[in-house]
Structure 1
Amino acid sequence: MADHLRSLLGDYDVDIVSDGQGLIAAVNANVPDIIISDIAMPGISGLTAARDIRAVHPNARIIFVSVRDEPAIIRKAIDDGAAGYVVKSDAGDELLDAVQTVLGGGQYVSSSARAALKGGP
């Protein structure tokens, strides 16, 4: 996935971490313009890492990229302050749009995530 992200975001400087604790440490060392995180990560989850990051850096812009397309998970991420949510199956077509939208100050929810929210509890 890391190489795929780098290829999709070729015009951007991309740092890759392998777990939630590494994500927190990397952001605390150098706050990026945008954070892209999975929800399921070794150690602490991406949701927990994002909550911890936003406690220290409230303006952090976080996009979740996840295989999880359950409405409750998507809502939780957004309610917890995510600026974007992209289902991994949409990433090839939509991740760059998500990054550009979030960098421009907007919020982005991928097509599969929007469909899940419309159809789920």
Structure 2
Amino acid sequence: MAEHLRSLLVDYDVDIVPDGEGLIAAVNANVPDIIISDIGMPGISGLVAARDILAAHPNARIIFVSVRDEPAIVRKAVDEGAAGYVVKSDAGDELLDAVQTVLGGGHYVSSSARAALKGGL
């Protein structure tokens, strides 16, 4: 999946890390313009890693890409400080839009996640 996401972002310099600890270390070593993370990662989850990253780098811009579209998960990610949330099934059509929106200072929630949120109200 990581290589597929890289292929969607060919115009960007993309580093891939294997787990939450690696994500935190990579961000601390070289604060990127944007962080794209899965929620479910080996070791420290993406949500916990994001919390740690945002504590150290409050202006970090994080987009979660996840198979999970449950309203509670999407809300938790946004409440924890994510600037974007893209359901993996939407990534091919929406990840680039999410990256551009978040880099521009906005927030982005993919269509499947928006539909789940509306259905969960």
Normalised-by-shorter TM-score class: over 0.9
Partner of 1:41: 41
Name the CA distance, whole Å, in 2 between partners of 1:93 and 1:72.
23
Provide Cα deviations, 1:72-96, integer angstroms capped at 9, x if missing partner: 0000000011000000000000000
Name the CA distance, whole Å, in 1 between partners of 2:6 and 2:58.
26
TM-score where L is the length of structure 1:
0.99
Deviation at 1:111, TM superposition (A): 0.1
Q: Where does the alignment leave 5 or more consecutive residues of structure 1 unmatched?
A: none
CA-atom RMSD in angstroms:
0.6
Query: Larger deviation: 2-11 or 107-116?
Result: 2-11
Deviation at 1:120, TM superposition (A): 1.1
Name the CA distance, whole Å, in 2 between partners of 1:6 and 1:84.
17
Partner of 1:55: 55
Deviation at 1:3, TM superposition (A): 1.1
Letter of the aligned partner of 2:58 in structure 1? Answer: P
Deviation at 1:2, TM superposition (A): 1.5
Name the CA distance, whole Å, in 2 between partners of 1:13 and 1:100.
14
Letter of the aligned partner of 1:17 in structure 2? Answer: V
Task: Provide the aligned length of Structure 1 versus Structure 2.
Answer: 121
Provide Cα deviations, 1:48-106, integer angstroms capped at 9, x if missing partner: 00000000000000000000100000000000110000000000000000000000000
Question: Following superposition of structure 1 onto structure 2, how do residues 1-121 of structure 1 map, counting pairs within 5 Å?
Answer: 1-121=1-121
Moved over 2 A (4+): none
Name the CA distance, whole Å, in 1 between partners of 2:57 and 2:96.
23
Name the CA distance, whole Å, in 2 between partners of 1:80 and 1:98.
18
TM-score where L is the length of structure 2:
0.99
Q: Provide the identity percentage.
A: 89
Q: Which secondary structure does the structure 2 equivalent of 1:32 belong to?
A: coil
Deviation at 1:5, TM superposition (A): 1.2
